[in-house]
Amino acid sequence: MKLLCVGYYDKFSRFFIGIHKELKKKLPESEIKIASLYTSGFLYSFIRFYSSINISFKVWCKVLINYKSYKKQLQKNQTDFDLDKLISYKLKENKNVNVNNLKLQALACIEVYTKIFNSFQPDVLCCVGDSRLAIKIAVLIAKKRNIPCHFIEIGPFGTTIFDAKGVNANASINNKSLISRLPKSQFKDPKEVFNQIKINDKKYKRSPIYRGIDYALGALFNSTKIYPPDLKYQHSTFNGEKKSIKSPLKENKFLLIGQVTDDVNMSYHSPNFDSFENLLKTVYQNLPENSSLTFREHPHFTGKHSKDFYSFMKENHINLDNKTLLNELIESHDVVVVNNSTVGLESIAEQKSVVVLANAYYALPELCLQLKNKDELKAVLKQTLSFKPSTENVTKYFDFLLNSYFIEGRLVDENLKSAKNIAHILIKKHD
């Protein structure tokens, strides 16, 4: 089996290599080629003598060297691919990125991948995520050649997601009729379901050098022409403060969960809100009477919102709590509001009232309330005060997720259990 993998960082290259090693136990002739968007992923596999490509940098160097040629191709529209659709995710993530440069990069990426597919001739394509430019192009070429694609994502509760359709809102289980089709669970409540799960807490010792190189390259070259457009970012490293903001809690306690602003779930699967500043203000302005709001920042985005964002919180007595344990914070509030964070799923597991403001695979009508139209937010938030998912529905949903959908083990586990499990799935499906 020839496996072509596309990922981001060193931890993903390590994971792909783990899949390959397990494949070779059953299929000694198996081969792997790894394309990484970031240098850390490339270096991890390259120094271990695996066939590796620093795809974003390789493609952009090709554009810089052959700029006039690609510019002519773009002007003549000499491609069968919808370039606007390919670059749509990056434009939502970073509105300041040069559109023409992204399209030029897409043209070169199509050319590079075509050569890879022709020479390597993969049997299976495995990708981390499903929305980045280099991943979308690889998937389109694979599908044109009838090569099966699989998508990998870090899952909740110590698991990994492995889906043939997509991840996040694109996952195969994003089906509004799913709950009605699931059989009754053998477990009496969600706690019984989770009691059977054993999470291996031992992570591998990841060298900080790899990601340090990524950060250094970004800091040095992000504002220059030589940095690949698909990797360019716009948010600053620190704008706000890490201090908690405390105000008295009222009768109805709402908890709003933050996310990284340039994350795919926030920028690509969020039809109602294009920024967390807008989201926070809109939620606050539509709270039911006698309600208080607490905001919990994402651990990777603490203190990184604008100064106006924190000023608005202080002026309107919105609590900022990054210190209380998340499970305790969820337990102490009546309603959990998420855009589409997996904290929403964790809150449903606790049978809390949850409102999802964007698209998410777990936004099923039996489990939570989902905002369809921004104008309906006031009514939806009020409705959450009397909504609670049934024990039966929550139990059978998590029974299905943990025993039939999620892959046991994490991407960062020392023993790479989920990589081994995925290898066996690939052998069963494609050998």
Q: Is the pLDDT of residue 121 over 80?
A: yes
Ranges 215-224, 241-250, 291-300, 353-362: which has the least confidence: 241-250
Share of the chain above pLDDT 70, in %: 95
Residues 62 and 18 in one domain: yes
Check whether 288 has a pLDDT greater than 60: yes
As a whole number of angstroms, the distance between CA 265 and CA 258 comes to 12
- Output the pLDDT for position 244: 64
Q: Is residue 165 one of the residues assigned to a domain? A: no
Helices (H), 222-295: 264-267, 276-285
Cα–Cα distance, 179 to 342 (Å, whole number): 18
Please report which confidence band the pLDDT of residue 242 belongs to, taking 50, 70 and 90 as the band edges.
low
Res 283: pLDDT: 96
pLDDT score at 380: 97
Q: pLDDT at position 195, please?
A: 87
Same structural domain, 136 and 278: no
Residues 394 and 348: beta-carbon distance below 8 Å: yes
pLDDT tens digits, residue range 200-238?
668 999 999 999 999 999 999 999 999 999 998 865 545
Q: How far apart are CA 20 and CA 139, in angstroms?
A: 20
Total tally of structural domains belonging to the chain: 2
Angle of CA points 83, 89, 90, to nearest 5°? 85
Residue with tokens 């495995």: 126
Do 399 and 414 reside in the same domain of the chain? Answer: no
pLDDT of amino acid 188: 93
Instruction: List the alpha helices (DSSP H) in 292-390.
Output: 307-315, 326-331, 343-349, 377-384
Whether residues 268 and 359 fall in one domain:
yes
Are 259 and 376 contained in the same domain? yes
Extended beta strands in 155-298, E state: 159-163, 252-257, 291-296
Does 140 share its domain with 250?
A: no
Give residues with Cβ within 8 angstroms of 304, minimum separation 6.
235, 236, 237, 238, 239, 240
Question: Would you place residue 248 in the very low, low, confident or very high pLDDT band (cuts 50, 70, 90)?
Answer: low
Average confidence score pLDDT of the chain: 91
With respect to residue 322, please indicate whether it lies within any of the assigned structural domains: yes
pTM of the model: 0.91
Looking at the structure, tell me whether residues 414 and 399 fall in a common domain: no
Predicted pLDDT of residue 365: 95
**Four-residue CA torsion sign, 319, 325, 326, 332:** negative
Same structural domain for residues 396 and 422? no
How far is residue 256's CA from residue 418's CA, in Å, rounded to a whole number?
A: 31
Q: Answer yes or no: do 200 and 349 share one domain.
A: yes
**Is 245's pLDDT higher than 70?**
no
Compute the distance between CA of residue 191 and CA of residue 375 in angstroms, rounded to an integer.
36
Range of the domain at 254: 176-211+236-406
Encode pLDDT of 40-50 as tens digits. 999 999 999 99
Structure tokens at 351: 């049978």
pLDDT of 391 strictly over 80: yes
